[in-house]
């Protein structure tokens, strides 16, 4: 309990960054991606998979460069360039580093492309919805934790995360539904029903993100990705849900809200 409170306090700077938005959010997203990539690199090394640090940093810069200059039409060419470089790297290694290349591409998508959805929401004029991403992600975690703590009995995915329960998962979904509904009523009353659905689906995605991170750590043989946040591991340990929820919310809003 104490460690969760400390971890929560460590997230206060993030709230300030979200409030400021724009350049502050872009820089924060870039730094989070870099740190997360380093954490993944350390985790993959435990599996004897070498993640090329120089290429990872270069890929981050290539992807975020168009975002920095608001040239979003170059995002797709940037992703294509990264793909070509990865294939060239695979060819240059004569196929010996095939696992490293797959890990490199996965890391690029997982910790560089997906988290940038937060900034893309702000750029599209829906910066307020970033608060909803945080509410769904962290709200699901909090409600799932307390529900599982008090009434959790049946295991959800014991082979991946032994402490998670079905009751906790349901509690997380209901908590997210309440938070998203309140957000929709206050911020976008004309879309309140869409936000109710988003609260349910977003919570499922958040819990999937948490389980994916747990699965990675279990295969890597590590407890946490890092130790940046006291009592709560590294950036990836704290943002595992946000990494999937943010692009999901961005896509959902693009279809149902941005009209």
Distance between CA atoms of residues 56 and 41, nearest Å: 9
Q: Please, what sign has the CA dihedral across residues 208, 100, 251, 129?
A: positive
The percentage of the chain sitting over the pLDDT mark of 90, rounded to a whole number, equals: 61
Is beta strand 161-165 parallel, antiparallel or unpaired with respect to 155-157?
antiparallel
Distance between CA atoms of residues 60 and 114, nearest Å: 12
**Digit-coded pLDDT (tens) for 74-110:** 889 999 999 999 888 888 877 667 888 899 999 999 9
Instruction: For residue 36, give Cα distances in angstroms to 32, 75, 144, 196, 236.
Output: 6, 21, 24, 31, 6
Per-residue confidence (pLDDT) for residue 11, from 0 to 100: 62
Tokens of 35: 């740190």
Reply yes or no on whether the pLDDT at 117 is more than 60: yes
The residue count for the chain: 259
Reply yes or no on whether the pLDDT at 198 is more than 90: yes
Reply yes or no on whether the pLDDT at 232 is more than 70: no
Tokens of 121: 């929401």
Distance between CA atoms of residues 116 and 114, nearest Å: 5
Do 137 and 241 touch, CB atoms closer than 8 A?
Answer: yes
- H or E segment and range at residue 229: none
Tokens of 216: 């990675």
Q: 12 by DSSP, 3-state: which? A: helix
- Residue written as tokens 């209901």? 174
Do 231 and 4 touch, CB atoms closer than 8 A?
Answer: yes
- pTM for this prediction: 0.90
Tokens of 245: 């929820």
**Digit-coded pLDDT (tens) for 240-254:** 999 999 999 999 998
């Amino acid at each position: 309990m104490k460690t969760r409170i400390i971890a929560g306090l460590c997230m206060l700077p993030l709230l300030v960054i979200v409030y400021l938005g724009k350049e502050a959010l872009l820089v924060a997203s870039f730094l989070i991606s870099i740190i997360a990539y380093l954490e993944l690199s350390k985790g993959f090394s435990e599996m004897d998979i070498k993640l090329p640090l120089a290429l990872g940093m270069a890929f981050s810069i290539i992807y975020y460069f168009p975002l920095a200059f608001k040239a979003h039409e170059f995002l797709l060419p940037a992703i294509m360039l990264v793909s070509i470089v990865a294939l060239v790297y695979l060819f240059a290694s004569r196929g010996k580093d095939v696992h490293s290349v797959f890990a490199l591409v996965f890391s690029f998508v997982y910790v560089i492309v997906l988290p940038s959805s937060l900034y893309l929401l702000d750029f599209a004029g829906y910066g307020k919805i970033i608060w909803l991403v945080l509410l769904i992600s962290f709200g699901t975690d909090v409600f799932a934790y307390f529900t599982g703590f008090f009434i959790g009995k049946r295991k959800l995915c014991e082979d991946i995360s032994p402490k998670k329960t079905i009751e906790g998962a349901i509690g997380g979904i209901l908590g997210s539904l309440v938070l998203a509904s309140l957000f929709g009523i206050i911020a976008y009353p004309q879309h309140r029903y869409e936000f109710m659905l988003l609260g349910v689906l977003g919570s499922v995605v958040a819990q999937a993100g948490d389980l994916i991170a747990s699965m990675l750590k279990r295969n890597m043989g590590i407890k946490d990705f890092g130790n940046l946040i006291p009592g709560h591991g590294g950036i990836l340990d704290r943002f595992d849900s946000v990494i999937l929820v943010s692009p999901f919310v961005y896509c959902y809003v693009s279809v149902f809200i941005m009209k």
